[in-house]
Amino acid sequence: MTIASATWTLTREDENALGLVLQRLIQESGARCALLVDRSGQLVTLAGERPAFDTTAFATLTAADFSANDQLARLMGESDFNTLYHQGERESMLLADVAKCAILVVLFDTRTTLGLVRLRSRSAVAELVPILESMLGRDNEAAPRPGILAGAEDDIEKLFQ
């Protein structure tokens, strides 16, 4: 199940915790930039060098790419591809699933290696999962239970007739 950021409440503490993980990933891997994107395509946070391109459009395309690859995996009999790698001549990116609700995107160039980026990304994902689960858990506790307001719209409508 994919959970969109609309169900999250991102506090300053959450943002700091996510930022620390991404910053450490960049330092330890030699990557240029790390982004956390929710599965609906919204940029959650970014660390490192700010890319020269539109990060909002990039986040949307990243989510679409990941979703398309999920479908390709299913066609091949896999439940999903939890890590994707795109290699360019000078620039590359690694995408990794985080708790089925976000995508870690690591942008890197020839100053580092895919192996190091993959290794450090796995550690970062392991650190990001409890942060995101805590955010989702907190929001699920605060959310009204389904059915509490069932029929309320009809009752309100009757009051104004």
φ/ψ of residue 88, rounded to 5: -115, 180
Integer angstrom CA distances of residue 10 from 114, 139, 152: 31, 10, 29
For the chain, the domains span 16-142
Of 6, 10, 18, 17, the C-alpha closest to 138 is 10
d(CA 43, CA 5): 9
pLDDT by residue for the chain (161 residues), tens only, comes to 344 454 667 889 999 999 999 999 999 999 999 999 999 999 999 999 999 999 999 999 999 998 898 888 888 988 878 888 999 999 999 999 998 889 999 999 999 999 999 999 999 999 999 999 888 877 555 545 444 445 555 555 555 56
Q: What pTM, to 2 d.p., does this model score?
A: 0.80
Count the residues in the chain: 161
d(CA 27, CA 49): 12
d(CA 64, CA 58): 10
Residue range 16-142, CATH number: 3.30.450.30
The number of C-alpha atoms within 13 Å of 9 and in the hemisphere containing its C-beta is 9
